[in-house]
Amino acid sequence: MVITLQTLTKRYGATLAVDGLDLAVRPGLVTGFLGPNGAGKSTTLRMILGLDRPTSGRALLDGRPYSSYAWPLRKVGAVLEAKAAHPGRTGRNHLLAMARSNGIPAARVDEVLALAGLGGAARKRTGTYSLGMGQRLGIAGALLGDPPVLILDEPVNGLDPDGVRWIRGLMRDLAAEGRTVLVSSHLLSEMQVTADHLIVICNGRLLADAPIEQILAGHASLEDAYYTLTEGSALR
């Protein structure tokens, strides 16, 4: 399943948050989505997921908007914010409500809890979860419908070193299965060892859309390449 952005634009009053993005995020790759704070990354992800309406242009999933799918969790799994769960619900009940809303069997809830390393915390209230546990719960929710597309915003936030290694391997395994994995991150060193392809934006504009090897060419690290790309762009 391909994510396609067609001249995607978003304005908030006089502020141009996303400026005519044209690109495609393809299956079989971990695609890193990079840019400084305020670059328009979160707004772009929200438009893909139908949470914000574009001012103009379109965000499509296999040629259709996210809102057109009857069972969206079976098409796209997303984590935009860690601990986005009611603090009074247990982790299992949080996922069970999500599963029922999309016709997903309850047995799948236990599968993804185990996959995310939360089997022992399944019946604890999410308000007691650490940031890392909340992140794992969000990822479990993203995997609930076994979707062909995963959209993850800062997925290693709050994770300990074992958790970082786990999510890194999970993203690469999902891409190897032919899924579309789009991950927004500020951790350039992590993207250097995880991503196959990079999209870089600044001030809502596309600066790069290329395989990571191409972006790294002539640079000692992704950090060097990133700052070469964005130097001066953030000031315009």
Query: Looking at residue 143, what is its pLDDT?
Result: 97
Residue at 68 is within a domain: yes
CATH of the domain at 155: 3.40.50.300
Note whether 35 and 70 are same-domain residues: yes
Query: Looking at residue 192, what is its pLDDT?
Result: 96
Separation of alpha carbons 171 and 149, rounded Å: 11
The residues of the chain scoring below 50 in pLDDT are 235-236
Query: Among 116, 131, 146, where does a domain finish?
Result: 146
pTM: 0.93
Q: Residue 94: enclosing H or E segment and its boundaries?
A: helix 91-101
pLDDT, one tens digit per residue, over 2-23 is 999 999 999 999 999 999 999 9
Q: Total domain count for the chain?
A: 2
Question: What 3-state DSSP class applies to 26?
Answer: coil
What is the domain extent for residue 104?
86-146
Query: Looking at residue 233, what is its pLDDT?
Result: 63
Radius of gyration of the chain (CA): 18
